[in-house]
Amino acid sequence: MYIGLLHLHSALRYVVLILVLLAIFQAISAGNKPYTAGNKKVNLFALISAHLQLVIGLILYFISPNVNFSNMKDPITRYWTVEHLTMMILAIVLITIGYSRAKRAKEDKAKHRAIYIFYSVAIVVVLMAIVTIKGRNPWGM
């Protein structure tokens, strides 16, 4: 079960990445264009895939041999126990806030801007998490 979920989690990350980048690209290129049903669907699918990734990740978190609270001095153990979880939850929260703000915004330009800003910051957080993997943290944390 663990290996199957790990492979699913690894494959789904590409779906999330593609959908979030597509949503960002649509929001950037929209300008003053209307916020269409197609925009809403891409943004929603990005949100859903990110939340599905979170659910699978949380299941893995509780059954993973890499999560170990007793060995926090090891950078790899600390990464999988604390840093990865924290940064990914933060990214998903940002995606959720962006989608919610776009949904509530009255003007089309504000909808596109909310998606662009929040989804972009979420991607930056994810990229920071990738760079910090295996203890290679360029920020000295």
Structural domain containing residue 77: 2-135
Contact (CB, 8 A) for 71 and 77? yes
Region 58-67: mean pLDDT is: 94
pLDDT-derived band at 131 (thresholds 50, 70, 90) equals: confident
**Count of CB atoms situated within 10 Å of the CB of 83:** 18
73 is a domain residue:
yes
127: which 2 tokens?
Answer: 């990229």
141 is a domain residue:
no
111 is a domain residue:
yes
87 is a domain residue:
yes
pTM of the model: 0.90
Three-state SS letters, 48-82: HHHHHHHHHHHHHHHHCCCCCCCCCCCHHHHHHHH
34 is a domain residue:
yes
Would the pLDDT of 126 be above 70?
yes
pLDDT at 130: 81
Structural domain count, the chain: 1
pLDDT at 136: 55
Find tokens 């060995």 and name the residue.
71
Amino acid (one-letter) located at 120: S
Region 84-107: mean pLDDT is: 97
27 is a domain residue:
yes
Q: What's the mean pLDDT when you consider all of the chain?
A: 91
- Among candidates 85, 50, 64, which has minimal Cα distance to 1? 64
